[in-house]
Amino acid sequence: MGTDNATYLQDLRDFTIDSMNWCSQEAESEAMKVNEIINTLVNEAGRRASMSQQALEATHSIQQRIESLRANDGKEKITVLVQILESINKEHNELGELTGPIIEALQFQDRLRQNLENMGKVLKTWLAARQSVGHELDSAAQLAYGQKLLACMTSQDEKAVVRRFIAGLPVEETVADAMFF
């Protein structure tokens, strides 16, 4: 092979991003399987009988919307799926017990998807920076690099990872992650 390190680093970065894209697609595909779980839950002995007609119709509507989403090529399907479930829960309180735990599971999958996407951004930022900044970081360079890494992050947990290793990064106002309660 005899690959020099710049080419190898780019190839490994591209493989990493390809692999993470595969993981994201798997996460989305896995998320769409909640229809099977909802089906099982609704058909559980006793549950169907105890549900109002409105709740049953709402559940049917959820399942139809998930099927449409499954067939759709759009991005961020998990986010959309959670929004569907949350909006129907607001209209039908009695579905909360049924779908609440599923929404939580999906939120973790959405966070995973976000983690994967942002790790790819970190790799791109690093490889670009190591060509322009140099390998040894003085205080100002470390802070500047830390801010670039922070810009790759979405959640507070991810930003906390960067802050754990780099002191002096500006603190933002804490805003709850949109996907979590």
Partner 1 sequence: MIITPGQQTMDGLTLQIFKDLCNEAKANAARSASQILGVSSTYLSKQTHDALSNFHKLYFDEAMQEKKQQINDDVSDLFDQAQALMASGGASAVDGLTEDSERAKERIGVAHFQKQLEALITLNVDFKERLVPVLSSMQFEDAMNQRLSHIDFAWSKTITALANGEITFDGLAREVAGLLSSDAERQLYYPRVLKEDPPQGLGDQGIWLDLGN
Task: List the one residue out of 11, 178, 24 whose CA is nearest residue 115.
Answer: 24
Q: Does 18 bind partner 1 (CB under 8 A)?
A: yes
Any residues with CB less than 8 A from the CB of 152 and at least 6 apart, and which? 118, 121, 122, 125
Nearer to partner 1, 65 or 125 (CB): 125
Cα(first)–Cα(last) distance of the chain, in Å? 50
Phi, psi of 177 (to 5 degrees): -60, 135
DSSP 53: H
Q: Does 80 bind partner 1 (CB under 8 A)?
A: no
**Interface of this chain with partner 1, residues 104 to 123, rule: CB under 8 A:** 104-106, 108-109, 111-112, 115-116, 118-119, 122-123
Stretch 125-144: interaction string toward partner 1, x if CB under 8 A: -x--xx--xxxxxxx-xx--
Nearest distance from C-beta of residue 71 to partner 1, angstroms:
16
Q: Quick one: CA torsion of 12, 124, 122, 23, rounded to 10 degrees?
A: -50
User: What are the structure tokens assigned to 39, written together?
Assistant: 């089906």
By CB under 8 A, name the binding residues for partner 1.
1-5, 8-9, 11-12, 14-16, 18-20, 22-23, 26-27, 30, 33-34, 36-37, 39-41, 44, 101-102, 104-106, 108-109, 111-112, 115-116, 118-119, 122-123, 126, 129-130, 133-139, 141-142, 145, 149, 157-158, 161-162, 164-167
